[in-house]
Chain A
Amino acid sequence: MNSLSSRLLVSVSVLLLFFFGATTAVLDRAFTEAGEQARQDILDGHLVGLLAAAEPDETGRLVMPERLREPRLERIGSGLYAEMRAVDGTVLWRSRSALGFEIPAGASLDLGEHRFTRETLADGTPLLTLSLAVDWELDNGASQPYVFKVAETLDGFNAQVAGFRRQLFGWFAAVALTMVLAFSMLLRGLLKPLRQIETEITEIEEGDRASLSGQFPTELKGVARNLNLLIDSERARSDRYRYTLDNLAHSLKTPLAAMRALLNDREGGDFSRRYNEQIDRMDEIVRYQLRKPAASADQLVLVPVPVEKEVARLIDGLRKVYRDKQPEFDVRIEKGMQFRGDTGDFLELAGNLLDNACKWCARRVRIAIVPSSGRSAAASGMVLTVADDGPGIPQEAADALLQRGMRLDESTPGHGIGLAVVKDIARSYGGQLVIQQAADLGGAEIIVSIPPVSAG
């Protein structure tokens, strides 16, 4: 029930059911009432016919003619019956059609009363009856009360009503079903832009798209525009952060460098040495703080970094820096591998690890980047492994770095700041760092695992 379309569909279905239910009930009632009225009118007609046919005989008693004009009263079991009773209920006459039936007498009537009732025959057939109590005035002025009654079975009528109901339900059900179907199709069409927004946001998250396309209906244009603004401001914020850091780095470190130069000019012995130590400390703090991760896994927009290209750039650079050593690079990168995050952060990860490896290796450096847990290369986490054939990192130093975290004044010489930065970045992307001995090369092997960006 969490989707808009199912909510709409259910509400519309309920509404349709209610509407059609009410309509059906009203129509049914109208049809039945009209039908019953028609029946009553017919019965009334028959009763009038009976009264017209009745004649007093010579003894002054009313008698019915041998044959009546209404053929249904003459046919046995036709469903239309008539009788004439005395006031005490004695049957004086009964139509031929009622041969073998006993028409229920019903409640007694007052003179002149004209009453419709529903009764049932002995076999359960429902009847609509019309009774009339009349005071028949004879020629001699005397009068005699009689009760005339006509009855018609309702079998036919009920069947007609049932047929009408079947038809009514059938048609309404068909119409309702068609409407629900049509509505759900309409909904698909209407909700298509929403689905498109969803798709485009996913594409932005995966970095395949810079902003929402803007090809949306008027009602969604505002949402799309605001989302784009949000994305832009997020990007701007991240850029501004980087820019500020850059400026801070430059404006702090150049004076530090100048201070050091001035000190060295003085050749101040112990004073100069102690000052230099303080400058080193300040430098380390600045370096460490300024190289903190720029992005993190929970950032709104992560642009995928083409890992292969960036590593190639790094290795080209490092070949220059370590030209004397000429390390042999063994690069194993899964085709199309991407890192979902900040390019600078990726370069920090790979750059620090490769730089350390080049520094410590005898000759060989291996870098491998594969997707985590065998997913496809495009939308997965990343496992970055850098190994060398150098002396490796002592277990205590590795443990200290991983457990205690970075203590600036106790950093592992040569590996310290670089690894601390790598650890920080890995952590900010929800990943982790493992330091071990490379089985093949024998030196340090550092494994950084970054989990996939969690969807949605």
Chain B
Amino acid sequence: MDAFTTHTGRAVPLRRSNVDTDQIIPAVWLKQVSRTGFEKGLFSAWREDPSFVLNDPAYQGASILVSGPDFGTGSSREHAVWALQQYGFRAVISARFGDIFRSNSTKMGLLPVVLPGDTVEAIQAAVEADPSLELTVDLREREVRWGSEKAAFEIDDYTRWRLLEGLDDIGLTLRAADAITEYENGRQRWLPTTA
């Protein structure tokens, strides 16, 4: 996965709550078997509306999405994360994320930043007032900075470390291969197998 240390870029305010993963990438885009090409599907239904914020020329090239609460609810599709990344986003800021989306993001190096609702709104307002405003999302310091403001966010040490280093989970887990084998030897015999 991509390492994430700190990122500075412009932001897009998405003033909607409950942005479910069916909106982030509608099901028709999930039929592909590759891992690339999902940027075209990002918010594809909403992007048909010329007034949708992603179509606003002022926000072209922005790399941080600032959304209303409950971002990434619904389906487990990791394609939502791929689509956001392939479109150019490095971080998403929201007051609350769907659990699976947040987990998928941290596996891929897209940083989900949880900030209080009023802070998110303050950032949205600041970006709307000046779309050229740059935000810095700093994972080392666990804070977001913009203009003369800053806000701290929480992320557990382990996930932060993995993101900073860009570590692959499977490689980490395989270091515990002996423990897995030992656990398997102690499993109940009546547990089902599909064989």
Q: Are A and B physically bound partners?
A: no
